[in-house]
Structure 1
Amino acid sequence: MDSSEGIERLLRVEKIELVYGRAIIVVVRDVESSFGQSLQDYVRDQIASSMGWIMPDIKVSYSILLEQFSCQLKINGQIVAQTRILPHLSLAINHTPLEGIVECLDAGDIFEGYCCAWIDSRMVYKVIKQKGKILSSADAFVKWLLYTISGNIQDLFGFEELQTLIDFGNRLYPATLNAAVKTVGMPAMLKVFRNLLEDGVSVKPLESIFTSIAIHGYADCDSDHLTEQVRLSLCNSICLPLAYDAGCIYVISIHPELEAWLIKQDYTNDIAGQSFAGELASSILAAVDEVTDSGFLPVILTNTGLRSRLSSLLRKNHRRIHVLASSEIPRAATVETCTQ
C-alpha cells in the first residue's frame, strides 16, 4: 500500500443512520477505531442493555470526511442534538498543553456524570471521562446517545412504539404481564410506560415494572399513582445513573414552606397557566444552571406528592432535569444539598 492509499484509508469514515420510530440518529466515525464488533451491533447491544430498547436495522453508507467522530440526532427531519468527538482522544491530550485544558460542562451538550474538557474550542472537541478514565470513541458516543435520547424521549415514542415494547415484554414475562393487564388494563399500562420514558427512566427491568403495576393496581388503577409506585420499586436503578463518585447525589431542594403550599394547591390541570408556575420554573432552573457551572448536574428533590407535577412543569423547559421524591433515594446513597 502506498502512502496515498494509507492516507485515504485513515480519512475514510462510516456514516450510519439508526432509525427508531420517528427519529434518525446520524453517526460519522473513523473506520480505524476498534470496537471489537460492528458499530451497529455495539450500539444496539449497549442501548438494549442500558435502556431495555431493541434497535431496528441500521442503514450504512460511506463518505470521505475529516478525522472526527460526529453524531446527530434528527427527529422528523430536524436536528435536535449534535456533537463531535475525536476518534483518538489520547493523541488529543498528548498534543495539548495540560494548562490549556479547562474542565467544564458545555451548557448545550452536557453529559450526566461525566467530565467534559475543551480541547480545541474552534472545533468543539471534548474528552469524555468516567471516574477519571478516558472513554473510547464508541463508549463516548453511546453515553451521548443514551443521554440525548432520554432528553427527547417524548418525541420518539408514540403508541405503536410503546405497544411494541409491551409485546417484547410479553414474550419474556407473559404471566407477569397478563396479571398486570388484568388488574389495570392496557391503556393504563401504556400510560405508565409513557410516564416513565418521559421522565428518562430506563424500562429495562420490565418484570419489576409489570409486577409493581399488578400489585398496586388492585388498590388504585390511576396511571399517575401507578407510575409513582413503579418508581419506588426502581429507585436503585433510577438513582444509580445520577450518582457521582462515592455514590453521592447532588440535589436542589424546595424550601419546606413553599413545598407545603404547593402540595396543598390543586393545580394539576392549570399550573401552566398560572403566573407563579413560570416564576417557580425559572427560579429552579436558574439554581440548576448555577450548580451546573460548578461541574455537577443536580437533581431536584421534593415530596412524593409533588414530584410528578413538578417534573412535568420543569421538563417542559429543560428535558434533562430529573426530579426525585425523597422516598426514592436509596439508604446507601449520600445526598449533598447544593442549594435550597
Structure 2
Amino acid sequence: MIKASIIGASGYVGVELIRLLLRHPEVEIVSIISSSSNQLSIDKTNPQFKKVSNLVFEEFKIEAIQEADVVFCALPHGISQEYVKIGYDIGKVVIDLSADFRYKDLQRYAKDYSQHKYPELLSKSAYGLCEINREEIKNAQIIGNPGCYPTSAILGLAPLLKNKLVDKNSIIIDSKSGVSGAGKKFDFAYSFCELDENFKAYSVTKHRHTSEIEEKCSFLFGEDLNLSFTPHLLPVKRGILSTIYANLIKKIDKNDLVEIYNEFYKDEYFIRIFEDELPELKYVRGTNFVDIGFEVDKKTNRVIIISCIDNLIKGAAGQAIQNMNIKFSLDEKMGLIMVGEYF
C-alpha cells in the first residue's frame, strides 16, 4: 500500500483528494493536514464522509508526513514551495497542486507570481500533464500538477501543435469555469447573488495561467508562441469548457482532424475524442476524462476545438492521483474510473 499525506486538506481540492484516495485500492491516507480545521474529524467538517472516514485534521509537523510515501500539497502558490522543500528534503515524492513547480522558466514564474525561493528544486521538478509528460513524471521526486485551465487548453491543442498544423501566433483560448476554481476563500464577487444567473469574463489579458499555457504550448510546437487567453466564470459549481480557435496553415477537413487526434491520443484512456458531436460539461462532471471535439471553419480555414474537463478532478485532484499512479508504477487508471454525474 502507498501511504499518502495531504497538506491543505480542508480546501475544495484537498477534500476532493481525500474523497478519491479513500476509494483507491492501493492507497492508505496516513495524515490530513489543515491548520484551520486542526483536531476536527473529516466527518464533522464534511458530513458527506459520515460512515466512510473519521480521519482527523492536524497541524503540520514533519512527523505528520514522516510515514508517507507521497505528499500531496494543496496550498496556495508561494506558501506551497516551503512544504514541498521539506517533503523533498526527507525523501518524499511530492505532488504540488499550486503553481510553484509548473514552470521551467524562472522569469515567467516571477513575472506572474513572485521570485522562486528554490530554483534548484524547480529545475528538478516534472510538469505533471500525464498524457504529454509521462516519462519525466516517472523519474521526478517533485511533480507540479498543471493548472485547470492549462490542462483543458493544452490537451485540446497538443495534436495540432506537435504536427505544426496551426499558425503559432493565431491561437485564441476562450475558457469558462465553474466557481469552485476560485477556491474556498470568501469573496463577495463569488457570492450567490453575484453569480446566480450571471456570466462574466475576468482577468482579461492578464490571467496567470496564460504564461503556463504559452510555455507548455511552445515546448510542444518547438518554437516560442504567443496566444490570447480569456477566462470566464459560469454560475455552476464545477467544470471547464474551453473553446479554442487557431488558423490552419494548410487545407485539412474534419476527417483529417479525427484521424490526427485519434492517432495522437490512441493510448490515452482519459482522452475521449468526439467525432460526431461536441463535448458538454455534464459528460465530464465527476470524472477524470478530457472530452475533445472540433470543427473546421472552411470559410476562414480556422479550426475550432472544444475541450471539457472537471476542474476539481482532471484539473486538480484526479490528475494528481494519475501522476501518483504513474510515479509508483501502478495502473494509471486505478482509483479514477468514474462515469460522469450527468445531472
Q: TM-score, normalised by structure 1?
A: 0.28
For the pair shown, the structure with the greater C-alpha radius of gyration is: 1
Could you say which structure has the greater relative contact order, defined with CA pairs below 8 angstroms and 6 or more residues apart? 2
